[in-house]
Amino acid sequence: MRDVETNSLWSHLLGKAMRGEFKGTELKILPGVMTTWSEWCLRHPRTTLLGMSRTTRSYREAVWKKSNRFVYGVHLGAGRPSPAVSLKRLQQEPVFNFESAGHVVLITAGEKGVRARAFSRKLKGEILVFSASGKGTITDDRTSSRWDVTTGECLGGKLKGTVLSVLPGTISFRTAWEAFFPEGRIVE
């Protein structure tokens, strides 16, 4: 992408200006989530939405059918090794704990690998390991507290009221992720 004011060229996957006056400048990447419209409305009943015309009708959950072609990448910033997990693996293990380049990461995903979110597993200096405990909830190994898979909020137990840090992440074509993050590790 380019900016109107200086015509610098930006990589949208890195969020960084690669050429031109702003070369080297990074934008802050927000933790967005990809999910279905019905699920988003359940979570956010007062949401607003983009109201432009459709250009296609292709993007429904079936788009991830060939899950080998996609990864869920955790965006730790341009130039920093950014770990990714194959979508196929997330479909098999929708609560996925791992460690990469010094970061302890939790990825939670819906059954088709969509609705994935990434969180830091570090809380107040301690590292937690999570497992699925019911619909929409996970449990940590230290205190057996219950957490919301989507928000990272502790719903009950000793840690009630605390929230895991959300990490920016995105579903990407595997080839695109490999090209932009050649140092990053993809967990198969």
Partner 1 sequence: MQLDGRRFLFPRMKSGLLHLLLLVGGIPVSASADGFNPHKVVKAFPAITDPRIVTVGEAGGFVEGNELVLGVVIGKQARAYPLNMLTNPTREIINDRLGGSAIAATW
- Under rule CB under 8 A, residue 34 binds partner 1: yes
What residues contact residue 22 under an 8 Å CB cut-off, 6+ apart? 3, 6, 8, 10
Q: Which of 54, 65, 66, 135 binds partner 1 (CB under 8 A)?
A: 54
Q: Which residues of 117-131 are buried (b: 16+ CB within 10 A; e: fewer)?
A: bbbbbebeeeebebe
Q: How far is residue 116's CA from residue 44's CA, in Å, rounded to a whole number?
A: 17
Which residues, 141 to 180, sit near partner 1 by CB under 8 A?
168, 170-173, 175-177, 179-180
- Under rule CB under 8 A, residue 183 binds partner 1: no
Q: What is the DSSP letter of 68?
A: G
- By beta-carbon proximity to partner 1, the closer residue of 105 and 171 is 171
Report the interface residues with partner 1, using CB under 8 A: 1-6, 9, 11-13, 15, 18-19, 22, 25, 27-38, 40-41, 43-61, 63, 114, 168, 170-173, 175-177, 179-180
